Amino acid sequence: MQPRPLEDAHPRRGGWRSLLWTLPLLLSLVFVAGVLAWVRANELAERELERQTLITDALSTEAQLRSRIAEETALLRRLAAGLAGAQPGVEALAARPELNTGLRRLWLSVTWLDSRNRQIAQLPPQGIANEDGLSLHLSEPVGPEGREGSLVVRYAPSLLLKHGVPWWLSRKYEVQMVDSAELLIASTGELRMPAGPGPSYRVAFSGPLRSSPLTEAAITDAALVLTVREPQPTALKPLALVLIAGFLPLSAVASWLLRRQVRQVLRAESAWRTEAAWRAAMEDSALVGLRARDSEGQVLYVNRTFCDLVGWPAEQLLGRRPPMPYWPPDALEEVAQRNRRTFAGQAPREGYEARWVHRDGHMIEVMVFESPLVDAAGQQIGWMGSIIDITQRKRLEERERRQVETLAHNARLTMLGEVASTLAHELNQPLTAIASYNAGVLNSLQRQGGADPVVLNALQRLGQQAAQAGRVVQRIREFLTRREPQRERCQLGVVISDAVALLSKELSRAKIEMSLRLDPALPAVVADAVLIEQVLINLVRNAADALLTHPEPRHIEVTSRLAGSFVRIDVMDNGPGLQGLGAEALCAPFYSTKSEGMGMGLAICRSIIEAHQGLLDAGEAPGGGARFSFSLPLATTATAEEEDPSHV
């Protein structure tokens, strides 16, 4: 059943919407009126701004001219002060540097008059010609109260305007100086009356302007007139009116055409609205994420389930091209390559698994099924994807796999502990026998007398090493059987020195330089010295093995320092380093970087250090190479009972 047209189903709403075609015409009229009002207001604002600028520039020009006259007066005052007490004459006047300075600026001539206003000297003798024919004067007494006469400077007002008005003001305005009768005194342009086509502004200029050298009366009615050379044209041009007049008929025609189009759209809208509502309801209720893309990868459609799956709203996904925001940043190239295979028609029909990133950052596992997207003409225009969230299923599988690995790992550790305990038990008897035989041979040689001291020393060292081996085997056996280490107060400096001494010949044969930087002021720690010594031996031997393939010089350094309430031991080499591996990976049981290694050395070392409430760490050495560090707590009163052998 076809739905009724929108205008028939809702006559009032259809009649109102059918009048929408008149809206562009009304908006055009409002727009034209707004443009005309804006142009007029802008014109008035520009004129007001031009008037304010003109007033500001006129006041600024008047102030600059006053400042220039004040400078010339100050220069004349210095000249008069320099002539005070001098022999009146041309020579004294010409010798003053102020004279040349003034003549290079505004002065046309300088006249020296005596107290009776008789001329004593004048430079230049004839004065500098003034093209305008007008000149003004400045005067200054010479000597106390003018007893030695006075100086009269004649200057051209046109030069005053030329040097006192900035060049940019001269280009923008015509600056004129007039008197009360509107007679022109000076101008920056051609000599004419100030009336002009542009707007002008008049400001009083009643400064020290004197037209005669023999009078103190100043011109009090002079004024400056600034006239705009190029006034702003009127904004409302005939061309603008013609354009506006042509715009209105075109808007009317466009509105009529729009009316026809609106009526057609309204009829078509009610035909597909019901169909779209049914389709949207079915797609949004599906539990499978749907995604439609064109042949170039641009997203055409996503349903609500897909948006909830990746955490991005549809508005931010539609129209996007690869790479997509839900692709993992560390696998962009891999996902892009698989995406290109899909667009090439090589997507597996059984689907494929993928890892995506939710908007909040957590990873999701999905199963993607791709199928061709065909339009109404039967042409393939893209691909339709169905996405299923399999994150929970993957987590369950991973949990089961980890449980199986944990059981196998525990089984291997149990078996290793049993084997190690058996080996320790079996080795204890041969080591005891070796120590006993060594003691017997040593006692026999000492009773006979005359034995070689070197042989006796070697037998004594053999006995010590056999006893040490027995203690090591006993402590490791006790440690593997879950007994507490035999902790006692000890100095780590002695433990480190003993451990390095045991490896000295081995390091010397490998051409490895060994250095110790131990803090002699370190306090004692409570630890099992035998186990800690074995940890140090293991770490130093690992560093030596890593240096065997490294070119010379080869160097291992062991340092100790105080770090808060712990003592920190660092074993550093200049070998190839850890290749990006951390302590967790290196100390994992059965993991080894050596072809013949069992992968238990660092794991046992870590267990020994953690049993002492310490921490084993690994990283890169400052100068390159590897660094293995462990820390042990200091001996405190809280550990006093651990120092007592009876406590163990």
Give the count of beta carbons closer than 10 Å to the beta carbon of residue 568.
Answer: 19
Encode pLDDT of 465-499 as tens digits: 777 677 666 666 655 555 556 778 888 888 888 88
> Domains of the chain by range and CATH?
37-228 (no CATH), 286-389 (3.30.450.20), 392-483 (1.10.287.130), 487-647 (3.30.565.10)
DSSP secondary structure string for all residues of 359-426: TTS-EEEEEEEEEEEE-TTS-EEEEEEEEEE-HHHHHHHHHHHHHHHHHHHHHHHHHHHHHHHHHHHH
Q: Is residue 558 exposed (0-12), middle (13-18) or buried (19+ Cβ within 10 Å)? A: buried
Find, among 414, 556, 549, 424, the residue nearest to 477 by Cα: 424
Give the Cα separation of 473 and 420 in Å (integer). Answer: 10
Write down the pLDDT at residue 165.
83
Encode pLDDT of 51-109 as tens digits: 888 888 888 888 888 888 888 889 888 888 888 888 888 888 888 888 888 888 888 88
Write down the pLDDT at residue 644.
46
Find, among 224, 248, 244, the residue nearest to 235 by Cα: 244
Q: What is the DSSP letter of 231?
A: P
The CA-based dihedral angle spanning residues 228, 229, 234, 235, taken in that order and rounded to the nearest 10 degrees: -90
Question: Which residues of the chain register pLDDT less than 50?
Answer: 1-13, 191, 193-195, 235, 597-598, 637-648
Write down the pLDDT at residue 214.
55
Write down the pLDDT at residue 340.
86
The one-letter amino acid at 321: R
Cβ atoms of 205 and 172 within 8 Å: the answer is no
Write down the pLDDT at residue 613.
83
The one-letter amino acid at 403: Q
Write down the pLDDT at residue 6.
35
Write down the pLDDT at residue 132.
61
Using CA atoms, how far residue 582 sits from 409, 577, 617, 620, 627, in Å, is 20, 11, 8, 10, 11
The CA-based dihedral angle spanning residues 262, 266, 268, 272, taken in that order and rounded to the nearest 10 degrees: 140
Give the Cα separation of 305 and 288 in Å (integer). Answer: 6
Question: 0.85 exceeded by the pTM?
Answer: no
Angle at 423 between CA 418 and CA 428, to 5 degrees: 130
Write down the pLDDT at residue 530.
80
Angle at 63 between CA 57 and CA 65, to 5 degrees: 100
Give the Cα separation of 428 and 466 in Å (integer). Answer: 10
